[in-house]
Structure 1
Amino acid sequence: MEARRDNSGLYLTQTAYIQQLLRKSGMSNAKPIDTPFSLNKPLYADGSPLFHDTTLYRSILGGLQYLVNTRPDISFIVNKLSQFQQNPTVTHWQAVKRVLRYIKGTDTLGISFRPSSQLFVTGFSDADWASSPDDRRSIAGYAVFLGPNLVAWQSKKQAVVSRSSTESEYRAMAQVTAEISWLMSLLTEIHISISAPPTIWCDNMSAAALARNPVYHVRTKHIELDIHYVRDKVRRQFGRLGIHHVPTRDQLADIFTKGFFLASRFQYLRDKLGVRSALRLRGDVRINH
């Protein structure tokens, strides 16, 4: 991992590690591509012949999982491909190679951290309802920012099937609430105070309203634990956790739940996460780890 620092902040990249992955997979001379995921080729558990080298698939995918530490922009597709490690198919391997082509063209990108005079905690949560074609479970994702900087993120298939988009979005909200709870406890332990109560942004109006509504309804009984967990944080902890609606176009967690037809949309969200090129730095100090 490489750390680069200048007056604008700190950049963490893994350029050398990416080159190592490309050599290991025989993709050093591959043609770069703008996005890591193709919507034209849906990924199913079955549907094509088994890939002949399961060990290679798992090894390269393990490398990509490590790369996610500085490249949140590939979290969604890496999580998706991780679901097929037991019996990867040729189609799955082709999807892995597309990710490799993407990181080949973006090997100087990394996560950036900028200084800020005010610290505030902001979370974004999202879910793509019933989007897994094999079991119709939802894909959930979240992003947590400390000031202007992304400090935690996740893309993950939910453990149970949700019966509505509101349910899947609320489960995602519970996940980001738990992450924020952990972060707030850490900040308290090291005696760092934040400027305002934390806020969560959700693009599902029903889920946001459910978090604020003290009236319990029988139709939400099956997600009772998640409901009470989030409401407890809203009412009693953090100095009142704020739950607000955000338009889908501004939902930064969108990048953790789905692929995009438009490369411009993907790149917009990637930039908003603070994934930028370290080559922009001038007079930087570089530290290799």
Structure 2
Amino acid sequence: MESAKPSIAHMATTYRLTKTESKAFDNPTMYKSVVGALQYATITRPDLAYSVNRVWQFMGNPLEQHLVAVKRILRYLQGTLNLGIHLKPVVFDSSLPIILTSLCDADWATNLDDRKSISWVCLFVGPNLVTWWSKKQQTVSRSSTETEYKSLALAAQEIIWVESLFSELNIPHQVPLILCDNLNTVSMSHNPVLHNRTKHIELDLFFVRGK
């Protein structure tokens, strides 16, 4: 892959990976080794979290189309070796409380095999990105709003843990901010009335609204 042409994107937006629409890859050990190494790359490259999570789901039985996706990630890495996380100093001052910001998003029903959605969350302490992850949701969502709300609940859970850590260390911080790009999800978070269409996710509703 050293002489391969670099890619400007780590995964095509229209490319959907499945467990059936390709021939089996004849060297699954090599596939597992490469994908396992890519897991280490996500420690300093949050932009790879989603694509590595996608190819990781086929470790049990990798196909040729999965290897094509892995090669594209490697080509993207080759062209972006200078990218990384830049950390800036943060002053712990009671007059200037630290800002905690979390961003959440979801990809609705992208898995063609089980139609489960994928959530991803990242959390900033001041200007610094300190935690991020991408994972498949445990249940199937019947709407994009439900998918986004599950991600919002996970983001709230993550930021509550950081708040408790700051409280133990006596570090002042402002009221956390969670950013979500789904208007229905934001409206449901503020609406005190539960509708029939949202009763199946009311636990997440009460959790986020309470926090």
- Smaller-chain TM-score bracket: over 0.9
1:70 deviates by: 0.2
C-alpha root-mean-square deviation of aligned residues, in Å?
A: 1.4
Residue 155 of structure 1: SS of its match in structure 2?
strand
Aligned match for 1:124, one of 103, 123, 129: 103
Find out whether 1:197 has 2:172 as its counterpart: no
> More deviation in 133-142 or 58-67?
133-142
Cα distance in structure 1, aligned partners of 2:159 and 2:105: 15
Report the counterpart of residue 185 of structure 2 in structure 1.
207
Opposite residue 191 of structure 2, the aligned amino acid is N
Higher relative contact order (CA 8 A, sep 6+): 1
Q: In percent, how many aligned pairs have the same letter?
A: 47
Aligned match for 1:91, one of 51, 65, 70: 65
Residue 112 of structure 1: SS of its match in structure 2?
coil
Cα distance in structure 2, aligned partners of 1:178 and 1:40: 31
Residue 166 of structure 2: SS of its match in structure 1?
helix
Report the counterpart of residue 223 of structure 1 in structure 2.
201
Aligned match for 2:78, one of 104, 117, 121: 104
Opposite residue 73 of structure 1, the aligned amino acid is D
1:40 deviates by: 5.1
Report the counterpart of residue 155 of structure 1 in structure 2.
134
Report the counterpart of residue 232 of structure 1 in structure 2.
210
Listed one character per residue, the Cα deviations across residues 150-183 of structure 1 (whole Å, up to 9, x for unaligned) are 1111212211111111111100000100110111
Report the counterpart of residue 165 of structure 2 in structure 1.
186
TM-score by length of 2: 0.92
How many aligned residue pairs are there? 206
Find out whether 1:55 has 2:26 as its counterpart: no
> More deviation in 84-93 or 32-41?
32-41
More strand by share: 1
Where in structure 2 are there 5+ consecutive unaligned residues? Answer: none
TM-score by length of 1: 0.68
Is the CA contact 2:101–2:178 (under 8 Å) kept in the aligned structure 1? Answer: yes
